[in-house]
Amino acid sequence: MVFGVAFFHAIVQERRKFGPLGWNVSYAFNDSDLNTSFTMLKIFLDEQDEVPWEALVYVTGIINYGGRVTDDQDRRCLITTLEKYYCPDNLNDDYFYSDSEIYRAPTYGDAQSYRDYIQSLPEEDAPEVFGLHDNANIAYQMQESNVMVEKVLSIQPRVGGGGGGLSPDEIVLEKSKQIKE
């Protein structure tokens, strides 16, 4: 269950990269949300004989993370995503977080077995793990390409007038010559 809430935290953090396909509003989820969720998970499990799934989803989704969420659709998305990780099936070894069966809660073991599992995960996460269609990656890549092209264009020298004018660098050089003379 600890791995599940940590994985959920990673999902809500990384989902931001998809812009409006991920969240309608950009949220500043942070480690305090995760730490509070760990604390509440421990309290609920220590004080209850059975796992209080609904209470865990409510406290983690509505209070801890949901306290930052202002859009109703985003809140719905957040809760639906959380329910994938806070559910009885998550305790089974054959429960997967995605259809590709790459992402799952690792089987019970020592700390090194968890590290090994995490190291075995792909470098580039497929959109499916975020609950998105594969086309979401296309939108993300186009967004990244546009940002890069805008940055390249912003550092290009500008040519004034109809193509025959001086660039800003040439203007500065010309002015420095005039001042020097």
Say what the pLDDT of residue 162 is: 52
8 A C-beta contact, residue 13 and residue 121: no
Structure tokens, 137:
């990656």
Number of Cβ atoms within 10 Å of the Cβ of 7: 18
Please give the chain's pLDDT, 181 residues, in tens.
999 999 999 999 888 888 777 788 888 899 999 999 999 999 999 999 999 999 999 999 999 998 889 999 999 999 999 999 999 999 988 899 988 888 998 888 899 999 999 999 998 888 888 888 888 888 888 888 888 888 888 887 665 555 566 777 888 888 999 998 8
Q: What is the pTM of this model?
A: 0.75
* 135: DSSP letter: H
* Cβ atoms of 9 and 33 closer than 8 Å: yes
The per-residue pLDDT for 93 is 85
Residue 164's pLDDT is 60
Amino acid 159: pLDDT: 56
Q: Could you tell me the domains of the chain?
A: 2-133 (1.10.8.720), 142-180 (no CATH)
Say whether 104 sits in a helix, a strand or coil: strand
Alpha-carbon distances of 45 from 38, 62, 84, rounded to whole Å: 11, 19, 19
